[in-house]
Amino acid sequence: MSSPVAIVTGASSGIGAATARRLARAGFVVYGAARRADRLAELGDGVRPLVLDVTDDASMVAGVEQVLEEHGRVDVLVGNAGYGSYGSVEEVPLDEARRQLETNVIGLARMIQLVLPTMREQGSGRIINVSSMGGRFAGPFGGWYHASKFALEGLSDSLRAEVAPFGIRVSVVEPGAIKTEWGGIATDSAVEISGDGPYAARVRRMAKGLSSGIERIASSPDVVAKAIEHAATADRPRIRYAIGAGAKPATFAARVLPARVLDALVARGMG
């Protein structure tokens, strides 16, 4: 068989860029997909740029069609495109809430729909969805972000059972604190949306605590990329990978602690 083919969304920076490079070094034909062509050009390492917007259906259809025209198969889809929009549930505009869900959930689901017919015909494939430790528990001022990641977890669980008879494996990756642009985007949006209203004091404390905490303990994106490579290549990939600073203890605590205790710990951790 020729080299396996992988599509990595959100590949212009952070976890996506590290994953695209790592899979290329492992012998995959890798298409790094993102909206910004200039940043995709910086990937190097044999990664093929694929300009694709997960909020634009025509863009996604064209991107997958290009890969199939050039290689006739898709072996791995890494659904990594997404961002964190923070602010109180009361104050986040619903247009922003819709954009968060469209990017983090609906776009990912549409990419899955587009590659599944080929994977079923092949009788094989890997779908690796990048969630978050925030897909297992929720903290204040991240309601729509957590909603998107909780939805991604449930979607992945249903999908896993549906496609297993076709030889397709589904894994969820749950990063902890990682050195990416995510923290800055999340805290900036929280302060912009809720930094002057009734939640201002708490939001500003949370933003300060979140920024300093990520800077102090965060893991490299390559730690997550390594887990994704395992999910893409192992004979028996794990269903879930809790990986990076804080991910394993946090997801364990979410499973075993009473909700009130978990709430208190989350609030303390976020300042």
Q: Is 145 among the catalytic positions?
A: yes
Burial call 107-117: b when 16+ CB within 10 Å, e when fewer: bbbbbbebbbe
pTM flag (> 0.85): yes
The pLDDT, as a whole number, for residue 183 is: 66
Q: Residues 60-112: pLDDT tens digits?
A: 999 999 999 999 999 999 999 999 888 999 999 999 999 999 999 999 999 99
| Tokens at 112, concatenated | 């899955």
pLDDT over 70 (residue 170) = yes
Q: Residues 246-260: pLDDT tens digits?
A: 889 889 988 999 999
pLDDT-derived band at 182, boundaries 50, 70, 90:
low
Q: Residues 32-64: pLDDT tens digits?
A: 999 988 888 888 778 999 999 999 999 999 999
Give CA–CA dist 166/77, Å, rounded: 16
The pLDDT, as a whole number, for residue 46 is: 87
Catalytic residue among 31, 86, 145, 241: 145
Neighbours of 41 (CB within 10 A): 12
**Residue 186 vs residue 101, higher pLDDT:** 101
Please, are residues 228 and 19 in contact by the beta-carbon 8 Å criterion?
yes
CA distances from 122 to 75, 101, 125, 188, 239 (A): 9, 31, 8, 44, 21
Give the contacts of 216 (CB within 8 A, at least 6 positions apart).
Answer: none
* SS3 label, residue 39: helix
Please, are residues 41 and 191 in contact by the beta-carbon 8 Å criterion?
no
Residue ranges covered by each domain of the chain: 5-269
**Architecture in CATH of 5-269:** 3-Layer(aba) Sandwich (3.40)
pLDDT over 80 (residue 150) = yes
The pLDDT, as a whole number, for residue 43 is: 86
